Structure 1
Amino acid sequence: MDSEVEAGLRTRIINEVMQRAEGNGGFLTRHELLEWTVDGRKLPVIDYSRGIRNPADFGSTLSIVSSAGGPYDDVESPDDGLLHYAYRDGDPWTGDNRKLRTALETGMPLILFRKETPGVLTPVAPVYVVDDEPENRAFIIALDEAFRFMPRGRDMTEDQRRYALRLAKQRLHQPAFRTRVLVAYESHCAVCELRHASLLDAAHIIADGDPRGRPTVTNGLAMCKIHHAAFDQQMLGVTPDYEVRIAKSLLDEIDGPMLKFGLQAMDGRRIWVPSRRSDRPDPELLADRWKAFAPGI
């Protein structure tokens, strides 16, 4: 395929994948990605059995899949937010590795899929192959094209390092957390049970800036955007035994239907929780959060 034609098709696929994922709550299923079509022609976006997708008529890799505990040692650096993506099996200069190296040489964008739960993947795109480390049998994947032209590792300035880590949090960690939480809650708002995934967020019980604010499902609540905002502003609280409370200041207000039905009517409701007990909100974390809210009742 001509490189300009491939570049245009690649950009189109990336945009369509990200748009469809956002409409679904930030993630896509393995089945959707394997059955992907372009202009009526089937063109899977992931591979059936491998963690790398190299369409036969593409000059370079289209997508890679990274998952914790997988067969390869794909590791995200805690120092700069870059992903060390291990060489695939076989000769490092041929096969799958060759097309990843071509992506490095040409600067073609890829899609990174994070496998958070079985059959569910979070797309992060565009990402770029920015370096090759034969001594470590790994390619370096970055979340911004700028890293193709920036120093890496110990040569990065402190400002560049902070930028890279902030980018990893925004484009990698937050979407992954959202996927895990929305999948656990079956795309329900815990407060009002709204089931429009594109209108749902993953709210942290303990803020992610706190040492205890780990990006785990038990530290999260699926919430629609209005209830998430109210939760963050301490206008809405959740007790350790899963009851919603609305701040007294809001209960005393008189306003339009959103206040009456969207917030005031939620007072005293029990939240909708995941069917798996291991995914339900941690009562101890809710108790800590509740201490900050309770004075507003």
Structure 2
Amino acid sequence: MPLGDDLDSRIRAASMAWLRQRCTPEDPVVRRDELLGFQFEGRTFPLIDNQLGIRKPQGLTAALSILTTYTSDGARAPYEDAVGEDGLLRYKFQGNPGHYTNVGLRRAHELGVPLMWFFGVQQGLYLPFFPVWIVAVDERLSQVAVALDEAQRHLSVDGPVSLIERRYSERITRQRLHQPVFRQRVIQAYETSCAMCRLRHRSLLDAAHIIPDRDVRGVPAISNGLALCKIHHAAYDQNILGIRPDYTIEVRADILQEIDGPMLKHGLQEMNNVPLVLPRCRADRPAPELVEERYERFRSAG
């Protein structure tokens, strides 16, 4: 098989085309074994390294992909890869800065080639982001800056960034990575099921914040999230129903007195005093102090 730039461009094009077909709105995540077993031109060509976070295949000019391993909320901050003052995410070098994988990241920056970023949402399960680009290398802090789209690629990372540019870039990072990762981590923790009504259609499920994300305490952590269908998410946000500290649903008193069609009766009123279905992993369950704080807000709103 010929090596060099031709192989480099072919594998990047083929792998991203496969991801576009494989990852649908109904099933947007990909398993580790699928990434390790990717087939390219008649042979197995892993898209991730079996042990390292950076994949730099032999024969390719630059790194092909980067990976962020899933860890529970209690083990680290929700996003270990920090956002810089320019609103761009940083990805740390791994080990010795001179290691061939880190050299591969530098080459990706020099050549401007697209990469894939696989973000862990559960053990062995990843949400892919592609194409992404390495737009700066910070040797002092042993890290690179990653652009999630074309708009971020054109930001100035070597000089001062205006407040408008920074806020715009931060919004892209939040919308393109933080919110999708939070959504998938929450939905996976609740086994693709509404915590209130058990609806299992992924496309109709949301990751609801217990403490809203506009609040300083509204962190994108599973323990601050609930998998809810769209109607119960809206009802929760509008304080039509709340969740008691014992994880039982409470419907607002005036809603219980209303007379309307079957949706009100079966979709809302019959949820009163129904217990939430909680994640099996205790670390993923709603934080009691957050549930209690949100319940008090619900009671005050009523």
**Which band: TM-score by shorter chain?**
0.7 to 0.9
Match of 2:166 among 150, 161, 169: 161
TM-score if structure 2 supplies the norm length? 0.81
3-state SS of 1:76 partner: coil
1:245 correspondence with 2:250: yes
1:54 to 56, 61, 66: 56
What is the rounded CA distance, in whole Å, between the counterparts of 2:212 and 2:251 in structure 1? 20
Alpha-carbon distance between aligned partners in 1 of 2:217 and 2:90, rounded to the nearest angstrom = 27
2:91 matched residue in structure 1? 85
- Alpha-carbon distance between aligned partners in 1 of 2:103 and 2:186, rounded to the nearest angstrom: 36
Q: Distance in 1 between matches of 2:149 and 2:103?
A: 22
Q: Name 2:202's counterpart in structure 1.
A: 197
Aligned to 2:32: 30
CA distance in structure 2 between the partners assigned to 1:232 and 1:120 by the alignment: 29
In the alignment, does 2:176 pair up with 1:176?
Answer: no
Give the equivalent residue in structure 1 for 2:67: 65
Q: Which amino acid aligns with 1:170?
A: Q
Q: Please name the residue that 1:143 is paired with.
A: 148
Aligned residues: 289
**What is the 5 A alignment of 1:93-112?**
95-112=100-117
Aligned-partner SS, 2:145: strand
Output the CA distance in 2 between the equivalents of 1:102 and 1:125: 18
RMSD value, Cα: 3.0
The question of whether the paired residues in 2 share the 8 Å contact of 1:128 and 1:141 is answered with yes
* Residues 170/41 of structure 1: CA separation in 2 closer, same or farther (3 Å cut): same
The normalised TM-score by structure 1 is: 0.82
Residue 237 of structure 1: SS of its match in structure 2? Answer: strand
Alpha-carbon offset, residue 30 of structure 1: 1.9
Alpha-carbon distance between aligned partners in 2 of 1:222 and 1:176, rounded to the nearest angstrom: 13
- 2:294 alignment partner, one of 282, 289, 292: 289
- Determine the C-alpha separation between the residues in 1 that align with 2:158 and 2:249: 46
Distance, in Å, in 1 between the alignment partners of 2:189 and 2:15 is: 32
Query: How far has the Cα of 1:158 moved from its partner?
Result: 0.9
Inter-partner Cα distance in structure 2 for 1:245 and 1:85: 43
In the alignment, structure 1 residue 76 sits paired with structure 2 residue 78: no
**Between 232-241 and 49-58, the greater mean CA deviation after superposition:** 49-58
Give the distance between the partners of 1:110 and 1:27, measured in 2 at CA: 17
8 Å contact 2:119–2:126 — kept in the other structure?
yes
CA separation of 1:51/1:114 partners in 2, compared to 1, >3 Å: closer, same or farther? Answer: same
- For residue 230 of structure 1, report the CA deviation from its aligned partner: 1.8
**Worse overlay, 221-230 or 284-293:** 284-293
Q: Percent identity?
A: 40
Residues 81-132 of structure 1: CA distance to partner in whole angstroms, max 9, x if unpaired? 323333345673x833343334323433222122354323332333211012
Q: How far off is 1:296 after superposition?
A: 6.1
Partner AA of 2:26 in structure 1: G
Task: Report SS of the residue matched to 1:122.
Answer: strand
Q: 1:134 to 1:289 in 2, by over 3 A?
A: closer
Of 82-91 and 225-234, more deviation after overlay is shown by 82-91
Deviation at 1:139, TM superposition (A): 2.3
**Letter of the structure 1 residue corresponding to residue 144 of structure 2:** F
Residues 224 and 57 (structure 1), Cα distance of their counterparts in 2 relative to 1, 3 Å cut = farther
Distance 2:65 2:234 in 1: 34
Distance change in 2, residues 1:58/1:224 (3 Å): farther
Query: Can you list the C-alpha shifts for 1:19-63, whole angstroms capped at 9, x where unaligned?
Result: 24x423x53332232233468754432221111223445443321
Shift in alpha-carbon separation, 1:242–1:91, aligned structure 2, 3 A: closer
- Alpha-carbon spacing, 1:278–1:8, altered in 2? closer, same or farther (3 Å): closer
Residues 14 and 126 in structure 1, CA contact (< 8 A), matched pair in contact too: no
Matched residue type, 1:53: R
Letter in 2 for 1:254: D
The answer on whether the counterparts of 1:104 and 1:131 sit within 8 Å (CA) in structure 2 is yes
| Structure 1 gap ranges (5+) | none
The Cα of 1:190 is off from its aligned counterpart by 0.6
Determine the C-alpha separation between the residues in 1 that align with 2:173 and 2:41. 33
Provide the residue aligned with 1:118 in structure 2. 123
Name the CA distance, whole Å, in 2 between partners of 1:196 and 1:32.
23
